[in-house]
Amino acid sequence: MVTRPNETPPQEFNPWLHVCSLIESAGELLGLDEGMLKRIIAPERVLEVAVPIRMDSGEVAMYTGWRIQHDTSRGPGKGGIRFHPSVNADEIAALSADMSIKCAVVNIPYGGAKGGVAVDPALLSRAELERLTRRYAFSIAPMIGPDRDIPAPDINTDTQVMSWIMDTVSMLRGQNTPGVVTGKPLAIGGTLGHAGATSLGVTICTAAILQRMGRLANEQRVVIQGYGKVGAPLVKLLSDRGMKIVGIADIRGAIHVPEGINHLRLAEHVAEAGTVVGYPGAELVPADLLFTLPSDIAIPAALGGFVTEDIAKSMSASIMVEAANGPTTGEGAAVLASRNIPVVPDVLANAGGVVASYFEWAQDLQGFMWERELFQQRLEKTMHESFNHIWARHKDLNVTLRETAIAVGVERIAEATELRGLFP
């Protein structure tokens, strides 16, 4: 057994230990030796930083941030930055390992990294948020760069936060460095197709598994947990393909509309009310009962660890597509497998975002912006090829889609690690 840091009592869900167990299982499936497995599991670099900022009141507040590079054998680190009260070292380590596997699954030349600050940005003014972002960027600046580690938006971070990070690093280095982050505004080196790319990738994977299972899109009822940067575009994208969105949840609650939710009306309602709750004609249901609603496809699109053993046991849908990072616990995954519910795992389903980031990074290095049509064409091609490869290996290996995807990612990381050798 590989030694794992930060052990916690077994009753607590620890995302880092969960990812370690997935990699270990993949290693056993692939027949990797223990030395290689140790190298793949251990993060290469872990940086914890204090983030002091001066509040508008004049007082000084202290926050803690992290940037973790899990593996760079296949290329520079890649992964988002999240601002959320729940952020901790285990969560960031797990997400960085997820990114290593995800980038390998879609076969782009990146390793995995992740960052974040334990803070509730909703409690900060815009000026306080900028100071927090710039101080955090200053602290992690030695680790990041176009050829080292390229952050991107994640939970509670956006194009403006990326702009502040890019500007801070550019000022430190005395030159414009647009390739240091992706997910930027167009005016400073962003790309035409990045917005909504994660949701598009989820949509492509959802359509692909329906096709593989011989099911028609216009006969599918969908429930989505989360109405944020990923969940909100999904309502429109899936509706456009004929699927009926019958339930959706956000942090305020969940709604049920058996006849289907109109994406335009929902967007207008949320713009006014700030929540999906209160959508005209909808039945209000407890958020933890969302996946019990009569449906065919369940899509977790919020924070990790939502699909527990109990949620998996009560799930009504016969397919799950993971739009969120790490939304399913090990116990939850075991229940879904025992119920023969196929799951398109996060390392494949939501990889559209990192593929788009790769394209943006390439354009920044080239100094040439692609047309939107070319961007979308290449994104769809990459996602389709990745899904088809995972599906074929899934049939060969005779394991779940999640186990297959993790195995493919670990296999590609192991190949790069073996080819590069061990220094010195």
The one catalytic residue among 114, 184, 236, 244: 114
Q: Are 249 and 226 in contact (CB under 8 A)?
A: yes
Contact between 27 and 37 under an 8 Å Cβ cutoff? The reply is yes
Taking the C-alpha atoms of residue 167 and residue 342, their distance in angstroms, rounded to an integer, is 44
* Residues 325 and 350 sit within 8 Å (Cβ to Cβ): yes
Give every CB contact of residue 139 below 8 A, 6+ residues apart in sequence: 47, 49, 50, 51, 65
Please give the DSSP secondary-structure letter assigned to residue 219. G
DSSP run (H or E) holding 285:
strand 283-285
- Strands 253-256 and 112-117, how do they pair? unpaired
Active site residue 244: no
* Phi, psi torsion values for 361, nearest 5 degrees: -60, -45
* Rounded Cα distance, 153 and 268, in Å: 25
Pair 248, 255: CB distance under 8 Å: yes
Q: How far apart (Å, rounded) are the C-alpha atoms in residues 268 and 274? A: 10
**Which two structure tokens, joined as six digits, stand for 80?**
């988002």
350 touches 324 (CB < 8 A)? yes
- Alpha helix (H) residue ranges in 306-351: 309-314, 330-338, 346-349
User: Is the Cβ–Cβ distance between 244 and 257 less than 8 Å?
Assistant: no
Q: Which runs of consecutive H residues, i.e. helices, occur in 75-196?
A: 89-105, 126-140, 159-173
String of DSSP letters for 58-69: S-EEEEEEEEEE
Instruction: Tokens for 241, please give them.
Output: 């393909």
Catalytic residue annotation: 114
